[in-house]
Amino acid sequence: MYGLFLDKKCNATGACSKCQANCCKSYLIALTSFDLRRIYKKTNSLDFFTTINADNFDTCLAQSFILFEKDAPKEYFLVLSRKKNGSCIFLGKDNLCAIYNERPIVCRIYPFRYRNEKILYKDKIKCPAEWEITPKIKEEFLKAHKMQLEELKSFGARCREWNANHSKTGNLELFLKFILQQPKNKKTNI
Ligand code: SF4
Ligand code: SF4
């Protein structure tokens, strides 16, 4: 994920070079509409994601949306698909991310969290590395964190609009169209 710092020749560097991409083999990756569009633009396909019922997935790093089934509202998240062995669909045999430049926002901030204006090394369970928050990590994290807040806010507003006005008559296909038509993030042009 974030920690899979790649150099210009796409080699894992630093702490991640000693790990077998545990993060990409351990977690379900929630997507925002911007993640979806970034990856779609790169792969020209929408075969990389699936939905998961919110009863089975708890995250504050994405936004749920409602689809009606037999007149009952059900809450879902968009997540990256996984291979049969449980690893992320984009994890290569070399343990590197095949869409590194377009990877989802949650992958960009992993394994850190931002609390009280401090960057904390959060996930010591799956991530075996000894991280030191260097100026480079700090800079990249803060950039990704800011992008995450902006995109989550915008995607959240779009989901609320869908839930209020379209969910009763909509389906997943229409929801995807609805979020793919969302106005672009002016800074990233996605
Ligand atoms: S998208 Fe890339 S960085 Fe994120 S979990 Fe998948 S392989 Fe890892
Ligand atoms: S689990 Fe930690 S050390 Fe391993 S690839 Fe992910 S971020 Fe890097």
DSSP string, 115-137: ETTEEEE--TTT--------HHH
With a cut of 70, say whether residue 124 has pLDDT above it: yes
Distance 2 CA to ligand 1 centre (A): 8
Kindly tell me if the per-residue pLDDT of 91 is higher than 90: yes
- 73 CA → ligand 1 middle, Å: 31
Q: What type of residue is 75?
A: E
- How far away, in angstroms, is 1 Cα from ligand 1 center? 5
Q: Relative to the CA of 129, which ligand 2 atom is closest?
A: 3
pLDDT at 134: 87
Tens digit of pLDDT for each residue in 142-161? 999 999 999 999 999 999 99
pLDDT at 3: 61
Q: Tell me how far CA of residue 7 lies from CA of 4, 36, 153, 163, in angstroms.
A: 10, 25, 31, 42
Average pLDDT over residues 77-83: 96
Q: Which tokens in the block code for residue 179?
A: 């979020």
For a ligand 2 pocket test, name from 127, 131, 133 the mutation site with the most ligand atoms within 8 angstroms of its C-beta.
127
Q: Tell which atom from ligand 2 comes closest to the C-alpha of 21.
A: 5
| pLDDT at 4 > cutoff 70 | no
Phi, psi dihedrals of residue 79, rounded to the nearest 5° = -140, 155
How would residue 115 be classed by pLDDT, with cut points 50, 70 and 90? confident
- Per-residue pLDDT, 167: 96
pLDDT digits (tens, 9 = 90+) for 32-64: 999 999 999 999 999 999 999 999 888 877 899
Q: Are 6 and 107 spatial neighbours (Cβ–Cβ below 8 Å)?
A: no
Residue 183: asked if its preceding bond is cis (omega within 30°), the reply is no
Nearest Cα to Cα of residue 99 among 156, 52, 39, 48: 39
Q: Which residues pair with 14 in a beta bridge?
A: none
